[in-house]
Amino acid sequence: MRFIREHKLFSLLITVLLLLSITIIVSYKTGGKQGFIGDLLQTGTTAVQKPLSGGTDTVKGNARGLLQFKQVVAENDELKDEVSKLQQQVIKLTMKKDELQQLQELSNVLNYESVADSQNVVSANIVSLDGSNWFNLFTIDRGEESGIKKDCIVINGDGLVGRVSQTGPGWSKVVSIIDESNSVSFMVLRDMSLIGIVSGDSSGSLSGFMLDNKASVMEGDELVTSNLGLYPAGIKIGKIKSVEYNSDTQLKTVKIKPSVSFKSLQKVAVII
């Protein structure tokens, strides 16, 4: 009994063989008719064979399922690769669209007579921000090799950006008009006899004052560069948001929203 317990599978196979042998002998003796004993043996043999046959079918089913699972995984990986490629294509197309739009905006700069008259314009990409605030100070990827020099004027399709403060081979540093160190003379587009000075403030906006404290400026007036100082005349600066009179300084002060969106600058043009 101990041998049987320790060798269950072997004992089962021996039992099946014995039953089959007895079935064959009985069938031979009875001329193919099994009788009661044969039926009993056949029933026992069938009972033993059934789980063995089911086990084989289960193994086959598991193997087939495993192969199908591997196939699904492979197809899923292929789909992921395809989706990744399509996403990259969408990103590239979006970047190209944005770049074309910015180039179109830069081309609008040529509508300024002061720029189109006799000046050359070099387009450039912003590669780094050098200030802690907004785009007060930044670096572009064009420099001396493109004819850029200190105090060259920087613009984009919306208007005045600033001026070049330093330049070298392949790079230039720009001080924007929203920096507190930069001052620009302006005139009111509605009445070009109204002149003032504007400079940056700490909030990414512009503030300034009118040279004539009785100047009839109002909210919504559009400001452009004048022909006084470094900047050529006619480049958009922004629109007046508010007007106040300072009794202490006896100056009419203005708050200005820049024409250029300094939060999203990527490309600029340099007048050389």
| Per-residue pLDDT reduced to its tens digit, 26-59 | 555 555 444 555 455 455 545 544 454 444 555 4
Q: pLDDT at position 204, please?
A: 75
Tell me: do 46 and 117 sit in the same domain. no
- Residues of the domain holding 45: 2-64
Residue 257, domain member (yes or no): yes
User: For residue 147, what are its two tokens?
Assistant: 């004819």
| b/e sequence 157-180, b meaning 16+ C-beta within 10 Å | bbbbbbbbbebeeebbbbbbbbbe
Backbone dihedral region of 238: left (phi > 0), alpha (psi from -120 to 50 degrees) or beta? left
**Token pair of 33 as six digits:** 């008719």
Q: Is residue 82 part of a domain?
A: no
Mean residue pLDDT of the chain comes to: 76
In a domain, 92, yes or no: no
For residue 83, count CB atoms less than 10 angstroms from its CB and return exposed for 0-12, middle for 13-18, buried for 19 or more: exposed
**pLDDT band per the 50, 70, 90 thresholds, residue 104:** low
Number of domains in the chain: 2
Q: What angle do CA 125, 134, 90 make, to 5 degrees?
A: 50
Residue 208 within any structural domain of the chain: yes
* Domain identity same for 26 and 143: no
Q: Would residue 254 count as lying in a domain?
A: yes
Which of 174, 170, 171 lies closest to 160 in space, CA to CA?
A: 174
pLDDT > 90 in the chain, percent: 35
Report if residue 80 sits inside a domain. Answer: no
The confidence band for 187, taking pLDDT boundaries of 50, 70 and 90, is very high
DSSP bridge pairs for 246: 251
Question: Are 142 and 269 within 8 A, CB to CB?
Answer: no
- Mean of pLDDT values over 225-230: 86
| 173 occurs within a structural domain | yes
The CB-side HSE value for 185 (13 A sphere, CA atoms) comes to 13
Banded model confidence at residue 91, pLDDT cuts 50, 70, 90: very low
**End-of-domain residue from the set 64, 82, 99:** 64
Task: Please check whether residues 135 and 37 belong to one and the same domain.
Answer: no
Tell if the pTM clears 0.85, that is, is over it. no
